[in-house]
């Protein structure tokens, strides 16, 4: 990992995938998944990880503490914890981050008329809350960020007063959020210019870092963030794949690649290793169970694909005809693994390391076995195939309540689609159930439901082919919600058999739901010798 360096032209990348991103509907992550994502964010080179909102729940606090201890090392990123400008929140945020080598408390207060009304306070009382909150945070931690929430709809004069109070009380970063994605790039640039030049104690040369945090309700989050950079903003708050509340946050990959690609326009730099972008994007997609739209800038499946004849011809003659970035710049490698079914574990381990995965021991053995099976059915195993296998292994952990052992389906135009599914629980006890459904996936999911007994609603089901070709691995992401709840959980599976991927994805989502909500008794219904039959009719 390259050492981070800072100068006046460095844009600090503050990643809030684990906090604002996790607030996306359905994006709940387990503590282990948060840690894994935090490790990958550190490899990507982000400067600050907002690890969570510790006062939200004891689990959130624990997850932030774990990230602070394990990822917040001396040469790692700063670890931030969010808190309202309330004593209890601030103390809990400090508990979350205090073990990091570089901790930060990020405290906020709504400043727009509607937010002050919601808090039942007037502007003067708002300033008092900021004074108390920032002073308390600063008495605990040297690095304090303050955000006037809904700044996009707050009058500039009051924003200047709020920011001045925060700086006077010791805030080191002033983050200006467009909480509801309301502003336009040119007016936002004007507001930021005025704030930077007119806030007492926070002007150029003061050492205070100005930051922006934009939401994407009108599709302008990246444009608004970049507009800020032109006016002197030096921290951007972003998420991987643009995940976040409602339409999401500014996406990290878009801002970073704009800065890198338009170097002479911005004359700025970041500490990001852009070749880690695709890997991070896939990890977040898989763990959150939130697919990336194919035409999404930088990380969408079509972002570097050329369909029309004229485009293909141009790119073949000279890639720059229609490409402003190289696929390799964002970590999209085209190379095929020239290992066949006779290749050894060592070669596989070396290739995985080249792709950024340090995998040894039993974990390597598991991937090796899967690689061999795949090499038996596929002529070439690509890097994308390997990454899907690694993601599939990571989606299934020893803590899982259930594991898919076997599945067999019968379907077609004659008769009723039937699936026989064998699952094992944590103690290795197995149970087999057969079910009929409207199709092979429906039948398989009914059989799984009969075993797991965790009532839920299937919100989303997506199938995606990892590479071209009939023998390609199929990736499935699903999102489910426990019956009667508005929480949701994602799952991922990859296999050359699409029904197997579908069931793996469903079982992984169920495991997350069970572990997060404490559902079910986790002992398979019936015993291993029992073969039940269920159907949509009863």
Binding site for Zn ion (CB under 5 A): 20
Nearer to Zn ion, 249 or 420 (CB): 249
Nearer to Zn ion, 21 or 356 (CB): 21
149 binds ligand KIV (CB under 6 A): yes
Minimum distance, C-beta of residue 64 to Zn ion, in the bound complex (Å): 17
Minimum distance, C-beta of residue 485 to ligand KIV, in the bound complex (Å): 24
Nearer to ligand KIV, 148 or 493 (CB): 148
Minimum distance, C-beta of residue 312 to ligand KIV, in the bound complex (Å): 42
SS (H, E, C) 19-79: CCHHHCCCCCCCHHHHHHHHHHHHHHCCCEEEEECHHHCHHHHHHHHHHHHHCCCCCCCEE
Nearer to Zn ion, 15 or 20 (CB): 20
Choose the contact partner of 147 out of Zn ion, ligand KIV, none; CB within 5 to 8 A by kind. Answer: ligand KIV
At 308, which helix (H) or strand (E)?
none
Of the candidates 168, 259, 152, 239, the residue with the CA atom closest to the CA atom of residue 208: 168
Nearer to ligand KIV, 130 or 500 (CB): 130
What does residue 403 show for φ and ψ, rounded to 5 degrees?
-135, 140
Choose the contact partner of 492 out of ligand KIV, Zn ion, none; CB within 5 to 8 A by kind. Answer: none
Measured CA to CA in angstroms, residue 343 lies from 68, 355, 358 at distances of 40, 18, 19
Of the candidates 519, 478, 481, 514, the residue with the CA atom closest to the CA atom of residue 498: 478
Rounded distance, CA 407 to CA 423, Å? 9
Strand runs (DSSP E) across 278-387, as ranges?
336-337, 381-382
Minimum distance, C-beta of residue 213 to ligand KIV, in the bound complex (Å): 5
Minimum distance, C-beta of residue 221 to ligand KIV, in the bound complex (Å): 11
- Residues 203-242, interacting with ligand KIV (CB under 6 A): 213, 215
Of the candidates 43, 34, 89, the residue with the CA atom closest to the CA atom of residue 64: 34
Rounded distance, CA 33 to CA 109, Å? 29
Measured CA to CA in angstroms, residue 326 lies from 2, 132, 251, 257 at distances of 21, 49, 19, 11
Nearer to ligand KIV, 113 or 520 (CB): 113
147 binds ligand KIV (CB under 6 A): yes
Minimum distance, C-beta of residue 20 to ligand KIV, in the bound complex (Å): 5
List Cβ neighbours of 523 (8 Å cut-off, separation of 6 or more).
425, 429
Minimum distance, C-beta of residue 179 to ligand KIV, in the bound complex (Å): 3
383 binds ligand KIV (CB under 6 A): no
**Which residue in the set 30, 78, 92, 179 belongs to the binding site for ligand KIV (CB under 6 A)?**
179
Q: Going by DSSP bridges, is the β-strand pair 78-84/48-52 parallel, antiparallel, or unpaired?
A: parallel
Choose the contact partner of 31 out of Zn ion, ligand KIV, none; CB within 5 to 8 A by kind. Answer: none
CB environment 144-171: b (16+ within 10 A), e (fewer)? bbbbbbbbbbbeeebbbbbbbbbbebbb
Helical packing angle, 31-44 and 277-288, nearest 10° = 170
Q: Is 220:189 a contact under the CB 8 Å cutoff? A: no
Minimum distance, C-beta of residue 516 to ligand KIV, in the bound complex (Å): 22
Minimum distance, C-beta of residue 58 to ligand KIV, in the bound complex (Å): 21
Question: Which residues sit opposite 323 in a β-bridge?
Answer: none
Choose the contact partner of 108 out of ligand KIV, Zn ion, none; CB within 5 to 8 A by kind. Answer: ligand KIV
Measured CA to CA in angstroms, residue 302 lies from 136, 332, 362, 389 at distances of 48, 12, 35, 21
**Which residue in the set 96, 177, 474, 491 belongs to the binding site for ligand KIV (CB under 6 A)?**
177
Number of residues that bind ligand KIV (CB under 6 A): 8
108 binds ligand KIV (CB under 6 A): yes
Choose the contact partner of 291 out of Zn ion, ligand KIV, none; CB within 5 to 8 A by kind. Answer: none
Nearer to ligand KIV, 152 or 524 (CB): 152
Minimum distance, C-beta of residue 312 to Zn ion, in the bound complex (Å): 40
188 binds ligand KIV (CB under 6 A): no
Rounded distance, CA 292 to CA 490, Å? 13
Nearer to ligand KIV, 13 or 330 (CB): 13
Contacting residues toward ligand KIV, per CB under 6 A = 20, 108, 147, 149, 177, 179, 213, 215
């Amino acid at each position: 990992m390259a050492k981070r360096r800072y100068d006046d032209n460095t844009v600090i990348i503050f990643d809030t995938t684990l906090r604002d991103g996790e607030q996306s509907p359905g994006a709940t992550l387990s503590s282990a998944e948060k840690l894994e994502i935090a490790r990958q964010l550190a490899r990507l080179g982000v400067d600050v990880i907002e690890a969570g909102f510790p006062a939200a729940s004891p689990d959130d606090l624990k997850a932030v503490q774990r990230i602070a201890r394990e990822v917040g090392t001396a040469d790692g990123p700063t670890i931030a914890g969010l808190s309202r400008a309330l004593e209890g929140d601030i103390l809990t945020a400090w508990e979350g981050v205090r073990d990091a080598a570089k901790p930060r408390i990020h405290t906020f207060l709504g400043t727009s008329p509607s937010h002050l009304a919601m808090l039942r306070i007037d502007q003067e009382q708002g300033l008092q809350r900021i004074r108390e909150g920032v002073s308390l945070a600063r008495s605990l931690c040297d690095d304090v960020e303050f955000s006037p929430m809904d700044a996009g709809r707050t009058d500039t004069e009051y924003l200047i007063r709020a920011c001045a109070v925060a700086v006077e009380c010791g805030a080191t970063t002033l983050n200006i959020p467009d909480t509801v994605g309301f502003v336009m790039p040119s007016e936002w640039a004007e507001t930021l210019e005025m704030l930077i030049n007119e806030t007492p104690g926070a002007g150029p040369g003061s050492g205070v870092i100005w930051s922006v945090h934009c939401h994407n309700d009108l599709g302008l989050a990246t444009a608004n963030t970049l507009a800020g950079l032109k006016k002197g903003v030096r921290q951007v708050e972003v998420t991987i794949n643009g995940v976040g509340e409602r339409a999401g946050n500014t996406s990290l990959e878009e801002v970073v690649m704009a800065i890198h690609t338009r170097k002479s326009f911005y004359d700025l730099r970041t500490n990001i290793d852009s070749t880690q972008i695709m890997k991070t994007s896939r990890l977040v997609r898989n763990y959150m169970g939130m697919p990336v739209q194919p035409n999404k800038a930088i990380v969408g499946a079509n972002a570097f694909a050329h369909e029309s004849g004229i485009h293909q011809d141009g790119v073949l003659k000279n890639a720059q005809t229609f490409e402003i970035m190289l696929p390799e710049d964002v970590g999209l490698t085209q190379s095929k693994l020239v290992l066949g079914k006779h290749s050894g574990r060592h070669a596989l381990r070396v290739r995985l390391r080249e792709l950024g995965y340090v995998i040894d021991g039993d974990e390597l053995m598991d991937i090796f076995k899967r690689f061999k099976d795949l090499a038996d059915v596929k002529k070439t195993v690509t890097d994308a195939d390997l990454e899907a296998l690694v993601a599939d292994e990571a989606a299934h952990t020893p803590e899982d309540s259930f594991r898919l052992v076997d599945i067999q389906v019968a379907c077609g135009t004659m008769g009723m689609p039937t699936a026989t599914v064998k699952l094992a629980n944590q103690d290795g006890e197995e149970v087999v159930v057969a079910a009929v459904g409207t199709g092979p996936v429906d039948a398989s999911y009914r059989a799984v439901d009969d075993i797991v007994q965790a009532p839920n609603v299937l919100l989303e089901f997506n199938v995606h082919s990892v590479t071209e070709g009939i023998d390609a691995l199929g990736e499935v992401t699903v999102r489910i919600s426990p019956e009667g709840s508005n929480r949701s959980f994602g799952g991922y599976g990859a296999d050359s058999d699409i029904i197997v991927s579908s069931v793996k994805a469903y079982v992984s989502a169920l495991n997350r739901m069970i572990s997060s909500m404490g559902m079910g008794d986790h002992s398979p219904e019936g015993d291993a010798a029992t073969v039940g039959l269920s159907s949509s009719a009863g």
